[in-house]
């Protein structure tokens, strides 16, 4: 691991955990299928596959599982790209292993995320 990588993973994990926790109840996490090929086995019945994406509805039990996996094994580092959709709107977009993360102002608690995670977020205007 290169200098600074541990801190970067830690910042990404903290953002991912907050994002999942604050996501609206009807939101869905869309993960591109070019991500870690072990995700379908790990996520099991929590996910469905559609149009080349793995989709996880963010019901509370799924949120709890995702947070647990992020804390235990940096789950978010296994995604190539992921998107959080709510009512047909992309409220979070993450590209290239969280190298670029965009958060729409319509995300609940947007000011909190912006303030707490401004160190690595590129925010949609």
Residue 122, pLDDT score? 54
Q: Total structural domains in the chain?
A: 1
Range of the domain at 50: 5-117
Q: Kindly report the pTM of this predicted structure.
A: 0.90
Asked whether residue 29 is domain-assigned, the answer is yes
Residue 29, pLDDT score? 98
Asked whether residue 125 is domain-assigned, the answer is no
Asked whether residue 41 is domain-assigned, the answer is yes
89, pLDDT greater than 60: yes
Q: What is the tens place of the pLDDT at every residue in 62-83?
A: 999 999 999 999 999 999 999 9
125, pLDDT greater than 60: no
Residue 123, pLDDT score? 42
Asked whether residue 124 is domain-assigned, the answer is no
Asked whether residue 123 is domain-assigned, the answer is no
Share of the chain above pLDDT 70, in %: 90
Which DSSP string corresponds to 51-90? TTEEEEE--HHHHHHHHHHHHHH-GGGG-SSEEEEETTEE
119, pLDDT greater than 50: yes
């Amino acid at each position: 691991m290169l200098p600074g990588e541990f801190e970067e993973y830690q910042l990404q994990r903290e953002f991912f955990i907050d994002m999942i926790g604050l996501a609206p109840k009807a939101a869905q996490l869309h993960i591109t299928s070019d991500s870690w090929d072990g995700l379908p086995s790990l996520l099991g019945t929590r996910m469905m596959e559609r149009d080349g994406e793995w989709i996880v509805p963010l019901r509370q039990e799924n949120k709890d599982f995702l947070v647990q996996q992020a804390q235990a094994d940096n789950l978010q580092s296994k995604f190539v790209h992921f998107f959080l959709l709510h009512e047909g709107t992309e409220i979070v977009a993450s590209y290239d292993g969280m190298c670029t993360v965009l958060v729409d102002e319509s995300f609940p608690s947007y000011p909190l995320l912006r303030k707490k995670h401004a160190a690595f977020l590129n925010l949609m205007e």
